[in-house]
A and B are shown apart, each in its own frame.
Chain A
Amino acid sequence: MSEKLKKTFIVTRFDPDKDEVPKTQTYEIEVEPDWKILDALNHIKDTVDPTLSHRWSCRMAVCGSCGMTVNGEPKLTCKDPLSSYGDTIEISPLANFPIVRDLVVELEGFMEKFQEVKPWIMVAKERAVEEGTTRQSPEELADFKGFSMCINCMLCYSACPVVSNEPEFLGPAALALGHRYNQDTRDEGSHVRNAVFRDEGAIFSCSFANECSEVCPKNVNPSGAIQQAKLANVIDWATSFVVKRGEDVS
């Protein structure tokens, strides 16, 4: 067995029944050198303090539940190695979200925004199974594939300065996913989505801080998606005065 290292974790605690505002608690534990931040939290929960609450499941960077703030940066804790930090590590909930308890944040705000971008294939007439699969070239697939990689981990929301201030802003992940469908050759709903994007503050309030793409653990590039979506939106908006559109897609 490899030798043990000692590290200090300063963890945000918040119990809505007892605490007016969040406070911190310090744990000093022995860790394995190849642990991730999440391993340390689970170790604390299992052996030191079972009252610590945090979300996690897959521990392989794909379910998106374990986003937290580590030494100030939004991180996917199951992928973030302990070895990249010093002896003291601060762990707090994701910024920009109301805090439910300890490291658990309120996600419903995102779920509402996500619903608004209509993240599904919209068509005027549903294709029948008997027609078989749609043809889509590898290039057409590549046009949106990257944006479909979002695991809804919310790191981008936590890093974006506009999210902090503009409640109507749909935010990086929701917009990237909306754009993903607009870019899909199988979809016919871009006019409907663009109208949603054009709503007050929904997309144009993004000031291209680019923080979202910097922190995204899955290289979704939401900042790029948003800028592309804005340009597409302007074109869609301009042509909407010339061409009348039926909005009978669903």
Chain B
Amino acid sequence: MVDVSRHDVVIVGGGGAGLRAAIAASELNPEISIALVSKVYPMRSHTVSAEGGAAAIARDDDSLEMHGYDTVKGSDFLGDQDVIQYFVEQAPKELTRLEHWGCPWSRNEDGSVATRAFGGMSTKRTWYATDKVGFHMLHTLFQTSMKFGNVDRYDEHFVTKLLVDGGVCRGVAALDIRTGEMKAILGKAVILTTGGGGKVWPFTTNGNIKTGDGMSLAYREGVPLKDMEFVQYHPTGLPGTGILITEATRGEGGYLLNNEGERFLVTRDYGVGNKAELGPRDMISRAITQEIAAGRGVEIPGKPGRYAHLDLRHIGEEKIMARLPFVRELSKAYANVDPVHEPIPIRPVLHYMMGGVDTDIEARTSLDGLYAAGEVACVSLNGANRLGSNSLTECLVFGARAGEHATEYIKGASVGEEGPFVQQAEAEAARIDAFRGRQRGGEKIAKVREDMNTAMEDGTGVYREQASMAKAVKDIAELRQRFEQVSLDDSSKIFNTELIAGLELGNMLDVAEAVTWAAVQRKESRGAHACSDYPTRNDTEYLHHSLVYHSPEGPRFDKKEVTLGVWEPEERKY
């Protein structure tokens, strides 16, 4: 028998989006009971690692119109314009709320909140707290959430299935990692805020927990994943580890150099115009990739591959310590380089998934009772390329929206007959027990994961080819077969991290399938999807979102309209 608990709203994920949703729901109605389920303690969520900042207009020389236009252009016109308008309007309010809750935003001399320049943003509108913005936002949100008595946390609980019956979602099945027992956590609405899935790729800024679980959970219940082909490569990751060096380094004036010490973004035409280092990420990542391909990459003794140099020396120690102390700490600890005295070797690194669970502007998915927000969702704010610092704000704006809308929704909803949901959780418990009990000697989790990483790197890198994408589709299908043969060495119930890694691998394969499927379908180059066989954007055939549906026979592909109406698509040139 599984343990059954009952709540009104069940939130899966304790990162920026999940915590914001919990606070929003709690503030709107302090009477309801909220479950916050997270596979790690909330303050470990990967929002913690965001460095650079969160965007919202703050200065007199800025406007909603400008932030909106920058975002639409950054998205290569694939962002939904109603969503973008709503987002830019809400953004300053959300960051102000966070200020009231104690977020230690960096300040100007007069005591107002300071803002910095960021890629693709036409003025300084990125709020920051030195270079640990995600950390401060997450801890502020988590600590603030602790004051609400009606938020019940399920820390270190791994959600393995959405409980869906009769077309409505009414809870989740969660594995208590500590005890190894399955729980049915029932509610009248479920909000997915499980973050992205960067760990599908080998070289990524993402932490161990970013395995796309929520995308897989929704996908398996028939909810489409949208725009999955668009994954963002951040221009500046450290060699080996892929640890991020924030775009704020360039916002504060850093240069990108090739092995000849040349500022190639200024001297050569990579489409970023006079924005130079502050161009959008897709373009800069391509520029670095081309520099390296042209033989102008920097070599590091003892390390494979070629890099570019990120040079901060001219910024000076004082400003680096005031604005970018974490960058200095990371460079020293993980690349053995002190940016005050030496340039930092970097190369493009997988960073962010623009795609995700398809939602409307209210954060609703196509499944009744299921919401999604944050990186797991695709509300179509980011289109084909996200602008740096929009996504932390996105977590707040749409996390709050999801929390509020779900609180409204449950007024008219009931769990109804509990039986079927509990039975599903019991079946899920049996499935997990069987997985844990699989005989030794089969495929190893680490090996299958490694092969998946390789397939995805080859098929869906900064530049893509039809042939390599098609191969990746095939590879992933094969890996799914191999995953069926995976076995565990650890049969213990208590804190079995091998079991978790196995479940995560299954989820990542779902994500990988959707990404590769969506990628082969898009025969154009738009935003982060740079297809060598089709180097230009094709608005007549491809100005649409892509949807991938799960089905037992294999994925099904579909399209969805892009909402235009304010800004007309035009050539994307800076």
List chain A positions with a Cβ less than 8 A from chain B: 1-2, 15-17, 34, 45-47, 49-51, 53-65, 79, 81, 100-102, 104, 107, 111, 114-115, 118-121, 126-127, 129, 132-138, 140-141, 144-145, 148-152, 177, 181, 184, 186-187, 250
Contact check, B43 vs A148: say whether CB atoms are below 8 A apart. Answer: no
| Interface 9-residue window, one of B139-147, B279-287, B349-357, B522-530 | B139-147
A-contact bits for B135-176, CB 8 A (1 contact / 0 none): 110010001101100000001000000000000000000000
Q: Does B533 contact A (CB under 8 A)?
A: no
A-contact bits for B74-103, CB 8 A (1 contact / 0 none): 000000000000000000010011011110
Contact check, A17 vs B498: say whether CB atoms are below 8 A apart. Answer: no
Q: A56-B208, A119-B146, A141-B104 are in contact. Are A50 and B488 (CB under 8 A)?
A: yes
A120 vs B146: C-alpha distance when bound (angstroms): 8
Residue of B nearest to A137 (CB): B111
Contact check, A51 vs B44: say whether CB atoms are below 8 A apart. Answer: no
Contact check, B330 vs A134: say whether CB atoms are below 8 A apart. Answer: no
Q: A2-B302, A15-B494, A62-B48 are in contact. Are A135 and B207 (CB under 8 A)?
A: no
A78 vs B384: C-alpha distance when bound (angstroms): 33
Contact check, B147 vs A107: say whether CB atoms are below 8 A apart. Answer: no
Interface size class of B (residues with CB under 8 A): 35 or more
A175 vs B49: C-alpha distance when bound (angstroms): 24
Contact check, A57 vs B494: say whether CB atoms are below 8 A apart. Answer: no
> Which residues of A are found within 8 Å of B490, using beta-carbon distances?
50-51, 53
> Which residues of B are found within 8 Å of A34, using beta-carbon distances?
240, 336
A58 vs B48: C-alpha distance when bound (angstroms): 8
Q: Which of B146, B244, B488 has the most CB of A within 10 A?
A: B146
Contact check, B44 vs A127: say whether CB atoms are below 8 A apart. Answer: no
Contact check, B497 vs A54: say whether CB atoms are below 8 A apart. Answer: yes
Of A59, A115, A136, A148, the contact of B241 (CB 8 Å cutoff): A59
Contact check, A57 vs B100: say whether CB atoms are below 8 A apart. Answer: no
Contact check, A133 vs B48: say whether CB atoms are below 8 A apart. Answer: no
A114 vs B497: C-alpha distance when bound (angstroms): 26
Residue of A nearest to B301 (CB): A2
> Which residues of A are found within 8 Å of B97, using beta-carbon distances?
129
Q: A63-B44, A141-B104 are in contact. Are A46 and B496 (CB under 8 A)?
A: no
Q: Does B178 contact A (CB under 8 A)?
A: yes
Contact check, B139 vs A148: say whether CB atoms are below 8 A apart. Answer: yes
Q: Does B446 contact A (CB under 8 A)?
A: yes
B336 to chain A, nearest CB (A): 8
Contact check, B101 vs A121: say whether CB atoms are below 8 A apart. Answer: yes
Q: Does B402 contact A (CB under 8 A)?
A: no
